[in-house]
Amino acid sequence: MDRIEIDGAAVEAAEKIYLMMNKPRGLVTTADDEKGRETVYSLLPKNLAWIAPVGRLDKASEGLLLFTNDSAWAARITDPASHLDKTYHVQVDHPADTDLIRDLESGVEVGGGEPLRAKSVRILRSGSKTSWLEIVLDEGKNRQIRRMLEGRGVGVLRLMRVAIGGLRLGDLRKGGCRVLNAEDKSSLE
């Protein structure tokens, strides 16, 4: 086994850290923002070793966000080949119908490229002016849900990631963080 030393003292590998956060709207998912906006790092414990977000949620989105200093684990979670489901609850500015669900699942052409599609969509609640949808993606492209809905002329009022794989946000308070236990980590495999 190799041993690394600095000035004769052995350097130990950093302890692996795995956290989940309930990201509130209005924060950017970056360590340092060039525009001076508040970042998700403002919610992390101050004495914590360096960790990085696993994936992103845009400023207007909220919900489950993972952090770690284990880059190999993070790469497995974010690898498109893993097809790890990401579940979102989305409030839209239209009553939802079967045509919208069919289009989101079969693919919406946006910007002349390959159609963006959801793995599954279901209506959670629908009123006369708005609806809540559950949208499951098995790969995440930049702003995919917002772009798919915009392509259908539907605006997003609220977008919350509620699960990644079998790991659910649950009752973690908004802005709260907690360490992932072994069961949480295995739900992401």
Q: Determine the Cα–Cα distance for residues 64 and 56; give it in Å rounded to an integer.
A: 10
- Among the options 2, 33, 58, 93, which is catalytic? 58
**Does 58 participate in catalysis according to the annotation?**
yes
Contact 174, 62 (CB under 8 A): yes
Q: Determine the Cα–Cα distance for residues 159 and 170; give it in Å rounded to an integer.
A: 16
Query: Which residues are annotated as catalytic?
Result: 58
